[in-house]
């Protein structure tokens, strides 16, 4: 779905950075250091295919910043992977973590393959070999650099990574923290899978609850009844659509790379997902109409457009035709700097990727903390809270002579489980980050858009930690 742009992805991140840097007080040297990619590891290794042939893999791991340890960021499997893309995505991770106060540096990895063209066994060999290359060069470890899922990877790949790492580092007590997004049985945390989509929902909901912002856009407050278009039905797009639908929004269009479908009365993402699984395509979904080209979805009349697939999909060519009032970047880098300028002119609000999709890394942080503490969240306090809640409720009922309903009883008595704590930590993170960025934007009227305000927040936080580290010899 990506298109040609006048400059590379990394250059476009630099452009957005420079645009924001002028609203900060840091000297040029510090800004240059924050912008630079610290370490780039490009590797080549051979893999024997199932048919006996040998194929040379092209893969990367980039650590953009080590101002905090470990570095953090996903690994993507995609044919579009190249050094520039991985560098840009690693830089976005640095800024993303800073904005949501997750104490990590930024990193990203990628293997240039289309996973659909490989068998499960081949993918396992590729993932394990990639991991051992990272171990050899000290590019992975719970205190060094902690990968996670990204486009084209998921729990299965993370399980292979942790297993390979553990086998190469026997006795390392915190080894499970070398990667996040693992299956629960391998040290994962409940709530990680839906985390990015839920974070996207929390972030947009917070903006939609800001009456002044909504008035300016000519929209009503709240997410209920909003017409939403989602591009991409992968893990992020699927869960984003799910949370919007569950909270009363209408998903009028879903797009995937083979096409897009439209239904003004709203689509159910799970039914569409099952249809795609069965037929191999999103198209011809009962009750919906097919759009001629998948990118037509981006130009539909709607309240919120959510690109949740790849970078550069909204650019100088098509931004002028976008009719949405809000563009919410669930993917990394879906809008180019030219598109940003057009949105400013047209009064479209773009909620930027590097904070909006930070739910994944936020919950990764919770998973990593769980791995280092070697205990499940809620294990110590769940029963204590339930006993205490029962006691308080009993006292209230006795003193008032009234009894609460059975439904209320269950709700009040409930002691927090792991997933409750993870979701609540995520909600708190997204809500406060949204407010922080909006405050920066409102307090400086010359800041042109929300992306620039988000970058200002990120630059200030990274700069402070560089200065406090005293790392300038």
Region binding ligand GLU by CB under 6 A among candidate stretches 55-63, 168-176, 355-363, 397-405? 355-363
**Which one, 68 or 226, has the nearer CB to ligand GLU?**
68
**Rounded CA gap, 15 and 3, in Å?**
18
Tell me whether residue 361 or residue 437 sits nearer to ligand GLU (CB atom): 361
Nearest CB to ligand GLU, comparing residues 364 and 457: 364
Contact between 361 and ligand GLU per CB under 6 A: yes
Site for ligand GLU, residues 404 to 423, rule: CB under 6 A: none
Task: For ligand GLU, give the closer residue by CB, 145 or 163.
Answer: 145
Q: Is 23 helix (H, G, I), strand (E, B) or coil?
A: coil
Nearer to ligand GLU, 295 or 357 (CB): 357
Interface residue with ligand GLU, options 94, 127, 364, 457 (CB under 6 A)? 364
**348 half-sphere exposure, CB direction, 13 A CA radius:** 26
Q: Is 88 in the site for ligand GLU (CB under 6 A)?
A: no
Residue 150 binds ligand GLU, judged by CB under 6 A: yes
Binding mask of the shown chain, residues 166 to 195, with x at each position contacting ligand GLU by CB under 6 A:
--------------x---------------
Under the criterion CB under 6 A, does residue 240 sit at the interface with ligand GLU? no
CB of residue 327 to ligand GLU, shortest distance in Å: 18
Please report how close the Cβ of residue 279 comes to ligand GLU at its closest, in angstroms.
Answer: 29
Q: Exactly one of 110, 191, 232, 360 binds ligand GLU (CB under 6 A); which one? A: 360
Determine the size of the site formed for ligand GLU (CB under 6 A).
11
Return d(Cα 77, Cα 91) in angstroms, integer: 18
State the binding string over 55-84 for ligand GLU (x if CB under 6 A, else -): -----------------xxx----------
- The CB-of-23 to ligand GLU minimum distance in angstroms stands at 25
For ligand GLU, give the closer residue by CB, 74 or 177: 74
In the complex, minimum distance from the CB of residue 180 to ligand GLU, in angstroms, rounded to a whole number: 5
C-alpha to C-alpha distance for 255 and 290, rounded to whole angstroms: 10
Q: How far apart are CA 134 and CA 309, in angstroms?
A: 27
Regarding 94 and contact with ligand GLU (CB under 6 A), the answer is: no
Q: Does 90 bind ligand GLU (CB under 6 A)?
A: no
- Residues known to be catalytic: 108
Piece of 37-45, 354-362, 379-387, 418-426 that binds ligand GLU (CB under 6 A):
354-362
Provide the minimum distance between the beta carbon of 357 and ligand GLU in the complex, in angstroms, as a whole number.
6
Q: What is the 3-state secondary structure (H, E, C) of the chain?
A: CCCCCCCCHHHHHHHHHHHHHCCCCCCHHHHHHHHCCCEEEEEEEEEECCCCCEEEEEEEEEECCCCCCCEEEEEEECCCCCHHHHHHHHHHHHHHHHHCCCCCEEEEEEECCCHHHCCHHHHHHHHHHHHHHHHHCCCCECCCEEEEECCCCCHHHHHHHHHHHHHHCCCCCCHHHHCCCCCHHHCCCCCCCCHHHHHHHHHHHHHHCCHHHHHHHCCCCCCCCCEEEEECCCHHHHHHHHHHHHCCCEEEEEEECCEEEECCCCCCHHHHHHHHHHHCCCCCCCCCEEECCHHHHHHCCCCEEEECCCCCCECCCCHHHCCCCEEECCCCCCECHHHHHHHHHHCCEEECHHHHCCHHHHHHHHHHHHHHHCCCCCCCCHHHHHHHHHHHHHHHHHHHCCCCCHHHHHHHHCCCCHHHHHHHHHHHHHHHHHHHHHHHHHHCCCCCCHHHHHHHHHHHHHHHHHHHHCCCC
333 binds ligand GLU (CB under 6 A): no
Least spacing, CB of residue 102 vs ligand GLU, in Å: 9
The minimum distance between CB 108 and ligand GLU, in angstroms, equals: 7
Q: Which is nearer to ligand GLU, 195 or 314 (CB)?
A: 195
Q: Does 110 bind ligand GLU (CB under 6 A)?
A: no
Residues that bind ligand GLU (CB under 6 A): 72-74, 148, 150, 180, 332, 357, 360-361, 364
């Amino acid at each position: 779905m990506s298109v040609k742009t006048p400059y590379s992805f990394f250059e476009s991140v630099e452009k957005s950075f420079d645009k924001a840097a002028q609203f900060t007080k840091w000297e040029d040297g510090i800004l240059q250091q924050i912008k630079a990619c610290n370490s780039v590891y490009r590797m080549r290794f051979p893999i024997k295919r199932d048919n006996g042939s040998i194929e040379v893999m092209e893969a990367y791991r980039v650590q953009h910043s080590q101002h905090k340890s470990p570095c953090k960021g996903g690994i993507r499997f995609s044919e579009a992977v190249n050094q520039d893309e991985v560098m840009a995505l690693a830089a976005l991770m640095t800024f993303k973590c800073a904005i949501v106060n997750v104490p990590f540096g930024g990193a990203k990895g990628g293997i240039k393959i289309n996973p659909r063209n490989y068998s499960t066994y081949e993918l396992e060999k590729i993932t394990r070999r990639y991991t051992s290359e990272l171990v050899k060069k000290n590019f992975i470890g719970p205190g060094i650099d902690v990968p996670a899922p990204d486009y084209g990877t998921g729990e299965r790949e993370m399980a292979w990574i942790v297993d390979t790492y553990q086998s190469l580092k026997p006795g390392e007590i915190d080894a499970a923290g070398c990667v996040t997004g693992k299956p629960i049985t391998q040290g994962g945390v409940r709530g990680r899978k839906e985390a990015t989509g839920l974070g996207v929902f929390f972030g947009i909901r917070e903006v939609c609850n800001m009456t002044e912002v909504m008035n300016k856009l000519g929209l009503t407050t709240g997410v209920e009844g909003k017409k939403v278009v989602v591009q991409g039905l992968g893990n992020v797009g699927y869960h984003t659509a799910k949370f919007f639908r569950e909270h009363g929004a209408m998903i009028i269009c879903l797009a995937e790379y083979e096409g897009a479908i439209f239904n003004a009365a709203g689509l159910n993402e799970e039914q569409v997902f099952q249809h795609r699984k069965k037929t191999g395509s999103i198209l011809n979904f009962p009750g919906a109409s097919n759009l001629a080209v998948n990118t037509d979805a981006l130009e539909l009349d709607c309240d919120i457009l959510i690109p949740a697939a790849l970078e550069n999909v909204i650019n100088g060519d098509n931004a002028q035709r976008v009719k949405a009032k809000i563009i919410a970047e669930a993917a990394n880098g879906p809008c180019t700097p030219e598109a940003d300028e057009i949105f400013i002119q047209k009064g479209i609000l773009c909620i930027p990727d590097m904070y909006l999709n930070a739910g994944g890394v936020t919950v990764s942080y919770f998973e990593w903390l769980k791995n280092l503490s070697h205990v499940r969240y809620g294990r110590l306090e769940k029963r204590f809270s339930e006993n205490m809640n029962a006691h308080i409720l009993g006292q209230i009922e006795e003193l008032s002579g009234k009894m609460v309903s059975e439904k209320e009883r269950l709700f009040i008595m409930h002691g927090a489980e792991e997933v409750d704590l993870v979701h609540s930590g995520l909600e708190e993170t997204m809500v406060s980050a949204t407010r922080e960025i909006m405050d920066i934007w409102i307090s400086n009227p010359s800041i042109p858009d929300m992306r620039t305000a988000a970058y200002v927040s990120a630059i200030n936080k990274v700069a402070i930690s560089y200065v406090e580290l005293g790392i300038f010899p």
